[in-house]
Structures are given as C-alpha cells and as structure tokens.
Structure 1
C-alpha cells in the first residue's frame, strides 16, 4: 500500500469503525492513506443503486466492510429471516461494487457465530463450513458465511484480493448498549449503571456459565489495519485473544461490577436463554503472523469501556 490509498469503511460509525478511526488517525496514521467512514446516512447498502453511488462518490482503492444488520441473542431469535435477507443484500452489493470499481483489496468482518454448532474445540479457520451454525442466529450466520464463498469466487474468477476476518466477541467505546438487542458486555455495563443509579438488583440473563473470548475494539482495529495492509491470504483469519483468556459470562459480569464499583445485589435470571455455551476459537494462525502482538488486559479494557460509557451516557446508543 505504498501509493495513494482511499480506504472506505462501511459501517464506519459503529463500534469497530470508530475504533479503526481512532487507530488510523493516531498511532497507525500514514500520509498516503485517506480514510472515509461511511454510515447508513451515506447509503443504504442493501440497495444496489445507493451502494454503487457511494462507490462512485468515494472512489475507494481499498474497503473494510463492517456494515451489517446486527443484534443480540434475543433479536436474532426473533428475526432470523430479516437478518439473512438484509445482510445477504448488503454483502453482495458491497463486494460487487468493489469488483466493478477495481478495488484492490476488501477486508470483510465475519463473526465466530458462523461456525458449526456441533464441532470440536478450539475452532479454526478451516471449519467454517463443516456443519450448520447454532439455531438461535442461523440467518445472520449463513449470510456471513456467504462472504467467504463470495471472496473465493471473486478470487478464482477475477483474481480479486477479497478476504475476511473473524473476530470473537468485540466490546469497547461506541458499542450498542441497548438492553434488549445489544451484545453481552455492553448490556451488562448498562444494566449495572441503571442498577447503581436506581438502587435496584443487578440481574444477569441466563446462568452465567457460557464462556466467551472477548476482544477489545481498539486491539481489533490494530489487527484489521494490519490485515488490510499486509495479510496475504484469501482464506479468513480469526482475530482473537488466546484460548487461555476465555472467560465465563459470570466472570465478565464480575469484571464490570468491579469496574463500576457496584455494591448492590446480583441475581441470575435462569429463565432466560444462555445461547451457545461456548465457541472457543484458536488464534494460532494470527500468532503465526503476529507472534508479538500485545492484547489489552481484559479488566483494563472493561474499565476503559465503562469509563467511556459513563462519560458519554447522554449521547451513546442505548
């Protein structure tokens, strides 16, 4: 990426997009790179004409594709069809527009939920298509899997350098802290804030026993910029902390309790679904390329996220 580069980031105002903006404008800033962070206000990417007009306007040489219809466990359970149809349209439009406009490289963002529900652990990049995903979010999962199919097809038929990353559970500033359809950590942060403010119990949905690997959004941003610049493969790469850094939902809740200095009652509502118990991912491939990469310690990242949440409470998504 030595020449002048115009990098379009779809979904650029969300959690990962804002983290990339922070890193690209800061520690990883390069004079030959011009970044454009697009939001849904710039274009409805499920509409082909709107997508093509965005590409015509920005004229990107590179794309980081983050845009998606997203939600937490309970929204996925309710709207599997919507998640499949909308995301399939978005992904096809973005990759086709990238091909038509001669984009040199596209990095799309997938999710560990795409992996088979019944599998051996740890999961790795070779196992994406080995069986159906968990039934709770099959619509979203299959639509994301198809990005990998598109990447391979564009590469085989046209030689396109389209690839993808698979992060584990992302959290950090600019997250969606909605209590109903947000993800687990931002949901816990908002719940504790409300419980502390209202002097009510803090209730965790489920048993607290499922286990997850969490990656801080700023760490993910650093790695995605590296993938855009230097990762040579079409095959996806898992971006995650190690297996040894996996934590239970109960442990995640305890980290938020500590960070928010919550002293009240803690309850677990076991009538709520736990979702998938675990989806432990191997970061061996990442470590082959980046053996010295330093992840932000989990408790430090949670504390920074809680501090950002409290400082921006009036304007954040909740």
Structure 2
C-alpha cells in the first residue's frame, strides 16, 4: 500500500471481535502512523446483515458496492470447543463457501491484496512444538474441530493456487486465541475467556458457584484484540508474501486456564465458591506457536500485558452488558 494511491479496505466480519479491534485502532491511532489510518484510505467494516458471503451473488454485490482495493477477510462461522464438536459439517461447509466466494470475487475484481484469517487449529494434532508456519499440512488436525480446521487450512491451499495461476496477492494470518472488547460472550458458542467472564459475572449476580469446565491445566497463548488489530494492519501494508504469518505473543507467554479463571475472578471481584469440573473435556493440553517469523519481519512489537488486557476486556463486558453478544440467558 503506497501513500499516493487511494485505497479502499473492506473488512468482512466487521462487527466481530477482530473487526471491531481493527476499527478501534484505525480510529484511535494517529493518522499516518504505522498502525493509524492513512490520509488516502477508506475503511469499510461489513457485517453479515449486509451480505451473506456463503452466497456468490451477494458476495459479488458487496464487492461491486465498495470496489475494495484491499480485503481483510475475517468473516467466518466460529465457536468454542463444544460447538465445534457438535457442528462439524456446518462449520466445514459454511466456511468453505465464504472463503471460496471472497477469494474468487477478489480475483475476478482484480483486488490488489487479500489477507484471510486462519486459526492455530489448522495445525496437525500430532506435531512437534512449537508450531510454526511450515507445519500446517504435516498431518490431520485435532478431531474435535476438523470441520472448521480443514476449511481454514484450505484457504492456504487456495492462496497458493491463486498466486500460481493468476498472480493474486493473497495471504493469510494465523492468530492464537483472541480476546477483547466486542467478543462473543454467548455461553453456547463462546471461546474460553469470554465464556468464563460471562459465567463468573452470572455467578456473582446470582450468588452461585463459579464452575470452570475441565481441570484448568491446559495452556494457551492469548492475544488481545487491539494488539492483533495492529498486526493485521502491519501485514496489510508491509507483508506481501503468500506464506501465512502466525500473529501471536511468544511461546514463553502461555497461560493456563486456571490462571485465566483466577484473573477473571479478580477482575470481576467475585468472592463466592469457585471450582473446576474435572469431568468435562479439556481439549488439547497445549499447542504453543512461535512468533519468531513475525518479530523478525516487524522488528519487534510491544504486546499488552495479559492481566491488563483481561481487566480491560472484563470492564468492557460489565459496561456494555446490555448490548454485548450474550445469547439468551
């Protein structure tokens, strides 16, 4: 992206956790700074109410309406561990359709660049850690989310094929577990941090025990949505290779689910009974990912400390409870 040519950046899934994070950074960082808006840029944050990207015709109409020069493709059918286990075919099919329509339309409309958002679940279940960008296709993904994982893994295959056949500048980002303001706190489909924040809030409100599913021992790398937003903006402007980049804190920053729950109890100021239901599934124990490639390309990056980011996320949830995505409680 050069400063001289006008750019229209279309963000699909614009009302989701990462889309809202990018919107926040674009609107709050100084204009012209590394992560701020450029004077010649227009940013469009599209939502599913504007176009169902599973439908090729609606996808084409969205592109024709905004004529994007650049796309950050975040729209996806997503959910936590238990939802992934339950709806494997839906997750596979809906995501394959969305990704295929976006990439095909971007190619047809000569879009200059597309970054698609993958997930660390694309990696093989049995693989040597830490995960890095070269290991995506070394074996099958974990059985708990193979539908979603294969759909996302296919994007990497498509990116390479589009580049080889048509010269398209398509690439992808692989974030680790994301959390922050505007997360999905619906207990049926939420990921671990928003689900635990919501459960702890309800336990405090109803004076009931706060019960965490599993042993609390699994380890995860969590990235704050506002940090991830900056990394997406960097990738859009400064990275032009087809190979994906892991967007993550370092592998030395793994946090246990128990540490997460402890931090939430503190942030919510919960004083009641708090325990782990060890009869529930833990999922994968750990899947550390290396951010070495990212930091070498960027020249370093200041991540928000976990406790600080978590406290900000809890505060956002408490302040916006009536408008947050909480499902039907």
- TM exceeding 0.5: yes
Q: State the alpha-carbon separation in 1 of the partners of residues 309 and 295 from structure 2.
A: 21
What residue is the counterpart of 1:312 in the other structure?
Answer: 320
Give the C-alpha shift of residue 262 in structure 1: 1.2
What residue is the counterpart of 1:20 in the other structure?
Answer: 22
Note the residue ranges of structure 2 that are not aligned, 5 or more in a row: 30-35
What residue is the counterpart of 2:38 in the other structure?
Answer: 30
The residue matched to 1:155 in structure 2 has which SS?
helix
Q: State the alpha-carbon separation in 1 of the partners of residues 26 and 157 from structure 2.
A: 29
What residue is the counterpart of 2:203 in the other structure?
Answer: 195
- Equivalent pairs, count: 318
Partner of residue 153 from structure 1, selected from 161, 182, 198: 161
What residue is the counterpart of 1:276 in the other structure?
Answer: 284
Give the C-alpha shift of residue 260 in structure 1: 1.2
Once the two structures are superposed, what CA deviation does each residue of 1:197-239 show, in whole Å capped at 9, x if it has no partner?
Answer: 1111101001111110000000000000000001121100000
Answer yes or no: is 1:206 the counterpart of 2:214. Answer: yes
Question: Where do residues 1-318 of structure 1 align in structure 2 (5 Å cutoff)?
Answer: 1-2=1-2, 3-27=5-29, 28-318=36-326
Once the two structures are superposed, what CA deviation does each residue of 1:95-131 show, in whole Å capped at 9, x if it has no partner?
Answer: 0010011100000000001100011110100000000
Q: State the alpha-carbon separation in 2 of the partners of residues 106 and 292 from structure 1.
A: 24
Q: State the alpha-carbon separation in 2 of the partners of residues 164 and 309 from structure 1.
A: 29
What residue is the counterpart of 2:32 in the other structure?
Answer: none
The residue matched to 1:20 in structure 2 has which SS?
helix
Q: State the alpha-carbon separation in 2 of the partners of residues 260 and 76 from structure 1.
A: 28
Q: State the alpha-carbon separation in 1 of the partners of residues 81 and 224 from structure 2.
A: 20
Once the two structures are superposed, what CA deviation does each residue of 1:137-190 show, in whole Å capped at 9, x if it has no partner?
Answer: 000000000000010000011111000000000000000001121000000100
Q: State the alpha-carbon separation in 1 of the partners of residues 166 and 269 from structure 2.
A: 55
Backbone CA RMSD of aligned residues: 0.7
Structure 2 length-normalised TM? 0.96
Note the residue ranges of structure 1 that are not aligned, 5 or more in a row: none
Q: State the alpha-carbon separation in 1 of the partners of residues 314 and 135 from structure 2.
A: 35
Once the two structures are superposed, what CA deviation does each residue of 1:61-86 show, in whole Å capped at 9, x if it has no partner?
Answer: 00000000011111111110010011
Give the C-alpha shift of residue 291 in structure 1: 3.1
The residue matched to 2:10 in structure 1 has which SS?
strand
Give the C-alpha shift of residue 268 in structure 1: 0.6
What residue is the counterpart of 2:33 in the other structure?
Answer: none
Give the C-alpha shift of residue 258 in structure 1: 1.3
Q: State the alpha-carbon separation in 2 of the partners of residues 94 and 124 from structure 1.
A: 26
Q: State the alpha-carbon separation in 2 of the partners of residues 40 and 206 from structure 1.
A: 33
